[in-house]
Amino acid sequence: MKVSIIGTGYVGLVTGACFAYMGNQVICVDIDSAKIDALNRAVIPIYEPGLKELIEGNLREGRLAFTTDTPKAVRESEIIFIAVGTPMDEDGSADLKHVLDTAQAIGEGMDGYRAIVVKSTVPLGSCERVNQVIQEVLDKRGVEFEFDVVSNPEFLKEGKAVSDFMSPDRVVIGTDSQRVRELMHALYESFFRVSDRILFMDTRSAELTKYAANAMLATRLSFMNELAALCEATGADVEHVRIGIGSDQRIGRRYLFPGLGYGGSCLPKDVQALISTAEELGVGLKILRAVDQVNQKQKALLMRKIEVFYSEEGLIDKTFALWGLSFKPDTDDVRESPAAKIIEGLLEKGARIRAYDPVAIESFRDSFTPPIDYSDDMYRCLSGADALILVTEWHHFRHPDFSRMKAELNKPVIFDGRNQYEPEHLRQQGFFYISIGRQPIGPGVSGLSSSLSL
């Protein structure tokens, strides 16, 4: 099938590469000529496991092309995906400017029937607006072409996007058109050799499903973070509680990990957008408002713990090693990463920062202007530091050499925002260990327990 993807961000690149891998002819479009030139050389602007190899193979075998020529891509494709950004506006709503501009460009390039698939995360009613814009352009051109606008939200996890697309839990298609149902089923059926998990529904339900899914994930995370605070106050261990409730099949184990709050490009933006949409309709989403408030508070939690730990001596001229800059492992995405808030707080208090991340240093350096030191090695990052702050749960942070860590640090102190380590093991190693939802441990730390359990 002939497919074009307008927008070569995270979603557009993964979508285009995966469709091309299944044998479709795919054209990816972007207005950034420098970016397109780089992509045609297989220079990928984001880190996503498996994506570079997928793009290289598709380019080599002629199934994938990158261009700035939107009209040509529209003319040469039967199915056109809109995968441009919908950034959060000042009032928390999703900004549809890029989506509607793309709809206009599609209308200007159409020369016959097209299925226009909205892959971007958009609020309810957006597909109707896209339909309206395209029809207005066709009317101005004085031409009559049939077209359908379909909602097809993405449910990709950064760091696992390629595997998610190749083996999806479900594909949601919002349309009332039988023609589009058949077309989209034919496009996606190669991803479902064992069982068909394509869910057809009306357009507005499809649009809402995306927001509702992310809102539910955010709710689980904020609930666990609130529960972690209760565990600290009562002397319980949130990791034991997490395992206990996750064993209930009605609840499940996923998205029950306490930490430093959710971040990235999706959950914060989508929660705000859903709250904004509900407000416009006169519906108060009280639970979701609380989810957002808990998340904002959680981002400052580790900084407060650090301040309490050093309350007597202060933070001026203290050096902190920080492991992890991306908002989650297996990505270089630093949007809404808790690392930024922690670093800003420490710099304001007169501390120094040395940071390590396996892939996100350049992304963080581009978005974070205050000067900090960066290290290209996780152990050299610790050299002479007064404490380690663990922010992102990269896999190779899980089983480090604690003896080497202790030798590198000025003092064996770990602030763990992701509960990566077993407290008793660190106690035996002679570390001070402050985590989330568990009692602080270390030589003589028992007297600090109540003040550190914030």
Residue with tokens 């359908």: 148
C-beta atoms surrounding 29 within 10 Å: 29
Q: Are 275 and 289 in contact (CB under 8 A)?
A: yes
Q: CA torsion sign, 116 to 119 to 125 to 126? A: negative
DSSP output for 229-254: HHHHHHT--HHHHHHHHHTSTTT-ST
CA torsion, ordered 24, 25, 26, 27, to nearest 10 deg? -170
Q: Are strands 387-390 and 319-323 parallel, antiparallel or unpaired?
A: parallel
Strand partners, 402: none
Strand partners, 116: 80, 149
Tell me which residue of 228, 158, 150 sits closest to 182, measured CA to CA.
Answer: 150
Tell me which residue of 66, 83, 89, 80 sits closest to 109, measured CA to CA.
Answer: 80
CA torsion, ordered 285, 290, 291, 296, to nearest 10 deg? 130
Residue from 18, 28, 127, 266 carrying the catalytic annotation:
266
Mark whether 127 is an active-site residue: no
| Residue 113 identity (one-letter amino acid) | Y
Q: Are 391 and 323 in contact (CB under 8 A)?
A: yes
Helices marked H in 190-284: 203-234, 238-246, 267-280
Which residues are catalytically annotated? 266
